[in-house]
């Protein structure tokens, strides 16, 4: 499996058979370059412009939204209902956490999770092989809460997302406070991480990807 970060909360997950899943596409106002590869499947965690811009995605992908089990193009994607804030969605609405099962791996994309997880949510999500987690705060969980979620889910690999970069004009924090809390991370100096079920690290590996 290859996991490529396009910036913000958008990743292209490519299976060994070539099937491509794109998460949370953003529109042109966000600041990152838009993906040019046509995916087979797109997941949308919630209906905000920086996560649901399916209209800019090349090709004619199948779109997955909302909680429940979705079987698409031979893979299983399970949506877990959560909230975009810590007030049961009263401020920013609902959010779906998607777990994508592919190549004997479980990749969990937290979307714009706005709260730490309950015991039942932790149980529903585990095991997690690769965790794609927001760390910038303000709209989502912050660095401290993100560490709590990582500790609860105990994934093999953590890839932070939804944090401040030089092209993003959002009032959110950078990746460094999260890295400081978890004891550091590896700057891969690449947009893409390759993962197989056979090479999963233990203990947890924190990887920071480039977007270009």
Question: Which among 148, 157, 150 is positioned nearest to 204, based on CA atoms?
Answer: 157
What share of the chain in percent tops pLDDT 90? 89
Domains of the chain, by residue range, sit at: 2-208
What CATH number matches the domain at 2-208, 3.30.470.20, 3.60.15.10, 3.40.50.300, 3.40.640.10? 3.60.15.10
How far is CA 150 from each of CA 33, 42, 64, 158, 182, rounded to the nearest angstrom? 29, 25, 25, 8, 9
Instruction: Give the side-chain half-sphere CA count within 13 A for 52.
Output: 11
127 pLDDT exceeds 90? yes
Please state, in angstroms and rounded to a whole number, the distance separating the CA atoms of residues 156 and 1: 14
> How far is Cα 35 from Cα 14, in angstroms, rounded to an integer?
13
Could you tell me how far CA 194 lies from the centroid of its own chain?
16
pTM: 0.97
Mode of pairing for the β-strands spanning 41-44 and 62-65: parallel
4-8, 33-37, 66-70: least confident range:
33-37
85 DSSP assignment: S
Provide mean pLDDT across the span 109-122: 97
Which helix or strand (DSSP H or E) is residue 210 part of? none
Report pLDDT for 35.
84
> Binning pLDDT at 50, 70 and 90, where does residue 8 land?
very high
Which residues, 6 or more positions from 119, have their beta carbon under 8 angstroms from its beta carbon?
none
pLDDT tens digits for 184-201? 999 999 999 999 999 999
What percent of the chain stands above pLDDT 70? 100
Q: What is the pLDDT of residues 131-188, one digit of tens each?
A: 999 999 999 999 999 999 999 999 999 999 999 999 999 999 999 999 999 999 999 9
* Mean pLDDT computed over 68-74: 96
Q: Are strands 130-134 and 105-109 parallel, antiparallel or unpaired?
A: parallel
């Amino acid at each position: 499996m290859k996991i490529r970060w396009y910036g913000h909360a958008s990743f292209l997950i490519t299976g060994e058979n070539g099937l491509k899943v794109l998460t949370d596409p953003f529109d042109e106002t966000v600041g990152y370059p838009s993906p040019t590869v046509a995916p087979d499947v797109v997941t949308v965690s919630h209906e905000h412009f920086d996560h649901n811009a399916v209209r800019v995605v090349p090709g004619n992908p199948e779109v997955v939204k909302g909680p429940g089990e979705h079987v698409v193009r031979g893979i299983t994607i399970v949506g877990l209902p959560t909230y975009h804030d810590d007030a049961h969605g009263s401020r920013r609405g609902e959010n779906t956490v998607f777990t994508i099962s592919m190549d004997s791996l479980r990749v969990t994309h937290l979307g714009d999770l706005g709260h730490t997880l309950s015991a039942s949510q932790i149980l529903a999500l585990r095991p997690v092989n690769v965790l794609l987690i927001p760390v910038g705060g303000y709209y989502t969980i912050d660095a401290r809460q993100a560490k709590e979620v990582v500790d609860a889910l105990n994934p093999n690999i953590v890839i932070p997302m939804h944090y401040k970069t030089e092209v993003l004009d959002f009032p959110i924090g950078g990746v460094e406070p999260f890295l400081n809390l978890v004891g550091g991370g590896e700057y891969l100096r690449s947009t893409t991480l390759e993962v197989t079920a056979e090479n999963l690290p233990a203990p947890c590996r924190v990887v920071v990807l480039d977007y270009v």
